[in-house]
Amino acid sequence: MQEENAEVLATVLEPRSLPNFVETDYVRDVTERALAYIAAGFPVHFRGTSGTGKTTIAMHVASKLGRPLVIMHGDEEHSTSDLVGGQHGYRKKKVVDNFIHSVLKTEESMNSSWIDSRLTLACKKGFTLIYDEFTRSRPEANNVLLSVLQEKMMGMPTARGGEGYLKVHPDFVAIFTSNPEEYAGVYRSQDALRDRMVTIDISYPDKETEMAITSAKSGLPLHDSEKIVNIVRSLRDSGKYEFAPTVRGCIMIAKTAKVRKAAVEAGNKIFRSICTDVLASETSRVGSDANIKKVKEFIAELVDRHCGSNPEAGEMNTDTKPSLKVGQRIAVGDKAVSML
Ligand SMILES: Nc1ncnc2c1ncn2[C@@H]1O[C@H](COP(=O)(O)OP(=O)(O)OP(=O)(O)O)[C@@H](O)[C@H]1O
């Protein structure tokens, strides 16, 4: 019944890397390791703090598999039916019989049909599934995945209310991401599920990768991107923050400096204020005035340290050195970097 009538409530994506994806040695290494585990038949789990690039790498790995892609996002509101599918839809039929003037007859009927979840669709058709931040869903909701990953069978409710099984397509691949900082207050990654996947820890990318990402995403030349990355990495290494700054901070500073045509120089007031705004907001949620003042002073110090003190610095000259172009391979330090 479900096979024939299934409506598909799912967005199937073409497997593609995200725009301006940068491939460095670091990215290539993580991708190759993940693809090898997948080829050996194991689901892969990218685990890392916010902004380390887990989702982007998951999308890249999916693009290498070349199968259609569906994405699910963990959510504590999810129930099993969000993962498996369920009866959805409502049709109302109203018959008004006023043949006899004084009688009004109304008839209503409801009709619902089975709608596959994204997981079911991927299991049936052999698509790639990215389950982003899967630990945000309650363990009971995720339990259906245990037999999918181990026995390659998926428990499905039947028309008569019992349980049937769907055989998982041999091309089905699952890629998971999670943020360990969220385990404490939310739901710990279930051990049984974790035991069925290979976890690759993703930490902050190396300097070359951060520079290449900043340049590719903003269009700023690499030498300017390097100065911004140096500021962010020094702040991260210092430990003087509530939340560690990420490559997202680098991208925000670089893009805004470009829009405002501010030279990436310590002497440029606009550039200084962009660094302070972006990094103070990225690294603190609530803070006392005294704390924020200290962080801002430290950011100013880092801008001086990494961008020189040039009081004459005015508008940036964006024409002097190229940023990373699609397909271009360049040397950053002693490493080769390319943008896909
Ligand atoms: N290899 C890469 N090429 C280009 N951009 C990248 C690459 N890796 C990461 N990024 C960029 O870095 C930022 C953070 O990456 P991403 O969103 O994948 O991190 P995340 O670890 O999934 O973060 P969160 O846990 O907060 O969702 C994004 O703007 C993303 O586009």
| Cβ neighbours around 272 below 10 Å, total | 19
pLDDT band for position 96 (50/70/90)?
low
| Same structural domain, 19 and 70 | yes
Task: Count Cβ atoms within 10 A of the Cβ of residue 213 and give its class: 0-12 exposed, 13-18 middle, 19 or more buried.
Answer: buried
**Do 186 and 214 lie in a common domain?**
no
Report which of residues 98 and 300 the model is more confident about.
300
Q: What pLDDT shows up at residue 208?
A: 94
Q: Using an 8 Å Cβ cutoff, are 229 and 214 in contact?
A: yes
Interatomic CA distance for residues 290 and 71, integer angstroms: 43
Q: Does 1 score more than 80 pLDDT?
A: no
- Average pLDDT, rounded, for the chain: 82
Q: Are residues 241 and 130 in the same domain?
A: no
Q: Is residue 91 part of a domain?
A: no
Looking at the structure, tell me whether residues 196 and 301 fall in a common domain.
Answer: no
Residues 167, 260 within the same domain: no
pTM: 0.81
Ligand 1 midpoint to CA 26 (Å): 14
Length of the chain as a residue count: 340
What H or E segment, with its residue span, contains residue 242? none
User: What is the per-residue pLDDT for 37?
Assistant: 98
- Same-domain check for residues 161 and 226: no
> Is 102 a domain residue?
no
Q: State which of 142, 166, 201 marks the end of a domain.
A: 201
7 lies in some domain: yes
Whether 40 and 187 map to the same domain: the answer is yes
**Position 37, amino acid:** Y
Centre of ligand 1 to C-alpha 197, Å, is: 22
Q: How far apart are CA 107 and CA 273, in angstroms?
A: 67
Whether 325 is covered by a domain: the verdict is yes
Q: Is the CB of 166 inside a 6 Å radius of any atom of ligand 1?
A: no
Could you report the per-residue pLDDT of 282-312, keeping only the tens digit for each? 888 766 677 788 889 999 999 999 998 554 4
Q: Who has greater pLDDT, 95 or 6?
A: 95
Buried b (16+ CB within 10 A) or exposed e, 166-183: bebeeebbbbbbbbeebe
* Distance from Cα 123 to the centre of ligand 1, integer Å: 27
SS percent in the chain: helix, strand, coil, step 5: 40, 20, 40
More confidently predicted of 267 and 159: 267
Beta pairing class for 153-157 and 163-167: antiparallel
Whether 215 and 258 map to the same domain: the answer is: yes
Whether residues 153 and 213 fall in one domain:
no
Q: Which of 168, 201, 234 is the last residue of a domain?
A: 201
Q: For the CA atoms of 31, 34, 35, 41, what is the dihedral angle to 10 degrees?
A: -170
Q: Determine the straight-line distance between the first and last CA of the chain, rounded to whole angstroms.
A: 44
Distance 165 CA to ligand 1 centre (A): 37
The ligand 1 atom at the shortest distance from the C-alpha of residue 22 is: 3
**18-41 pLDDT per residue, tens:** 778 999 999 999 999 999 999 999
In 3D space, the residue among 224, 238, 254, 221 whose CA is nearest the CA of residue 325 turns out to be: 221
Query: What CATH number does residue 177 fall under?
Result: 3.40.50.300
The ipTM of this complex is 0.98
Q: Which of 53, 72, 44 is closest to 133 using CA atoms?
A: 72
In a domain, 319, yes or no: yes
Between 247-259 and 222-238, two packed helices, what is the crossing angle to 10 degrees? 140
Torsion sign (Cα): 271, 275, 281, 282: positive
- The best mutation among 213, 250, 278 to test binding of ligand 1, ranked by most ligand atoms within 8 Å of the C-beta, falls on 213
Domain end call among 201, 230, 260: 201
Structural domain of 33: 2-85+119-201
Res 194 pLDDT > 60: yes
In a domain, 109, yes or no: no
Least confident of 168-177, 187-196, 215-224: 187-196
Is 278 or 93 the better-scoring residue by pLDDT? Answer: 278
Nearest atom in ligand 1 to the alpha carbon of residue 56 is: 18
Shared domain check, 57 and 29: yes
Looking at the structure, tell me whether residues 195 and 230 fall in a common domain: no
Average the pLDDT over each of 190-199, 228-237, 281-290, 326-335 and give the range with the smallest value.
Answer: 326-335
DSSP annotation of 205: P
Same domain, residue pair 217 and 268: yes
Residue 99 is assigned to a structural domain of this protein: no
Give 211 Cα–ligand 1 centroid separation in angstroms: 13
* Cβ–Cβ under 8 Å, residues 138 and 187: yes
Residue type, 11: T
Q: Looking at ligand 1, which residue's alpha carbon is closest to its atom 16?
A: 53
Residue 52 near ligand 1, beta carbon < 6 Å: yes
Question: For the chain, what is the domain count?
Answer: 2
Domain membership of residue 11 (yes or no) is: yes
- pLDDT for residue 318: 46
Strands (E), 145-239: 153-157, 163-167, 173-178, 198-201
